[in-house]
Amino acid sequence: MANRFYTLLLVPEKSASVRRFVIPSWMVNSGLVILFAAALLSVLMTFDYLYVLDRLKENKQLQLENRKLRQQVQIFRNQMTSVEQTIDRIDNFATRLRVITNIQDQFAQGSSPSSNAPSLDEDEKKKPMNSN
């Protein structure tokens, strides 16, 4: 048969009065269960804390990598802007060159520049012959 009560005696060293506490067994059993649950909870919380610390370390590394990648993307954007500006300048130069040389967009119309350009024979026929 199980004990229904536990008796706790406190015997002081100098005084003569002994204190006696009678505790029901259900309270002792409940206290042990609560103590075990608290110990288990503290172990779980410790492991979770260590896991969070590891994730925090990984998070800092990812933030650093992310910052480096953002800087590289910004560098690539600047290079793309520079390339676009250079292409715009080249297009502008090509347009000016066509205007200066009085060439209409022959390539867009499908004719080759050699078919519309005068040949050397035609140029020579137009020039008067000089006898020096």
pLDDT tens-place string over residues 11-42:
888 877 888 899 999 999 999 999 999 999 99
Average pLDDT over residues 80-94: 95
- Interior CA angle at 32 toward 28 and 37, to 5°? 150
Say if residue 125's pLDDT is above 70: no
Does residue 9 contact residue 18 with C-beta atoms inside 8 Å? yes
Residues in CB range of 23: below 8 A, 6 or more apart? 5, 6, 7, 8
Whether 86 contacts 96, CB under 8 Å: no
Q: Is the pLDDT of residue 45 over 60?
A: yes
4-18, 48-62, 111-125: range with highest mean pLDDT: 48-62
Predicted pLDDT of residue 63? 95
CA distance 111 to 113: 7
How high is the pLDDT of residue 1? 47
Dihedrals phi, psi of 127, to nearest 5 degrees: -80, 140
Q: So what's the pLDDT on residue 114?
A: 52
Please enumerate, as own/partner, the contacts of 59-65 that have beta carbons within 8 Å and a separation of 24 or more: none
Contact in structure between 24 and 4 (CB atoms under 8 Å):
yes
